[in-house]
Amino acid sequence: MNAQINKQVLREHFGIHARPEQVVVALAGNPNVGKSTVFNSLTGLRQHTGNWPGKTVDNAQGVFSYRQTSFLLVDLPGTYSLLAHTIEEQIARDFICFGHPDATLVVLDATCLERNLNLALQVLEITPRVVICVNLMDEARKRGIIIDVKTLEKELRVPVVGTAARIGEGIEDLKEALWQVATQSTHAEPAQVRYSLEVEEAIRELSSALDAVPTGPLNRRWLALRLLDGNPSILAGINTYFELISN
């Protein structure tokens, strides 16, 4: 019960007013990957746009139903990474970390997968409840780029769906994958980034210093990495998190 209330408080902090039985899905992706096309083809006209609370950054939310479950899709700002150098990246990261999404959908551009995987891997470091959508498959085919979705799924160890949102290809599969991840309790164990020895050494050293630190929903290894990035904005996020749940 308490957890339910916490979840609601946290979401409302981000301006997300979901009904208790509603499933919240965060939508992440690079700019120019057809993220809004995916958003539109999932939600149709049932959407509204505004700003993130207190920020001049666009926020779009939309709803759709699948298998008698109502989904609330939250469009995160388009970013190249979640390392929080800009306000957009910070919003995207904080929502995935603290906004309690039941699933995060990461949209990748099939025509430049490498750069897009960089973002996907960063999301997978935060949460295992992820569905990967490789969009623009039609465009990639036209350019002679073939994406092996099965291999990708094996490598990332989370559901991967190839789509061409413009023509509606793969959208039903995407809904099914989202439904699986958001409502089933089986947890994926996604691929983790392998760091070089130097970085691993630094993580180990800092993690031991973090042993007794309460980190909320975050794992220690990831928090250590962010502190090593030298970007203290995550600390403010953790602080807000504890403030919200203690009230």
8 A C-beta contact, residue 50 and residue 59: yes
Tell the smallest beta-carbon distance from residue 193 to another protein (Å).
5
Distance from C-alpha of 149 to C-alpha of 161, rounded to nearest angstrom: 7
Tell the smallest beta-carbon distance from residue 232 to another protein (Å).
6
- By CB under 8 A, name the one of 50, 151, 168, 172 that touches another protein: 151
**Stretch 87-126: interaction string toward another protein, x if CB under 8 A:** ----------------------x-xxxxx-xx--xx----
**Stretch 166-185: interaction string toward another protein, x if CB under 8 A:** x-------------------
Contact flag: residue 161 with another protein (CB under 8 A): no
Contact flag: residue 2 with another protein (CB under 8 A): no
Report 193-232 residues binding another protein (CB under 8 A): 193-196, 198-199, 202, 205-206, 209-210, 212-214, 223-225, 227-232
Q: Which residues contact residue 140 at a Cβ distance below 8 angstroms, ignoring those fewer than 6 apart?
A: 110, 111, 146, 147
Residue that is written with structure tokens 């070089």 in the block: 196
DSSP-based three-state secondary structure for 164: strand
Q: If you ran DSSP here, which 8-state letter would residue 110 be given?
A: G
Distance from C-alpha of 109 to C-alpha of 155, rounded to nearest angstrom: 17
Tell the smallest beta-carbon distance from residue 141 to another protein (Å).
9
Distance from C-alpha of 39 to C-alpha of 30, rounded to nearest angstrom: 14
Instruction: Give the burial string for 177-207 (b: 16+ CB within 10 Å, else e).
Output: bbbebbeeeeebebeeeeeeeeeeeebeebb
Distance from C-alpha of 72 to C-alpha of 54, rounded to nearest angstrom: 21
Tokens of 87: 């306000």
Q: Which is nearer to another protein, 139 or 173 (CB)?
A: 139
**Which residues lie near another protein (CB under 8 A)?**
31-32, 56-58, 80-81, 83, 85-86, 109, 111-115, 117-118, 121-122, 139, 143-149, 151-152, 155-156, 166, 191, 193-196, 198-199, 202, 205-206, 209-210, 212-214, 223-225, 227-232, 235, 238-239, 242-243, 246
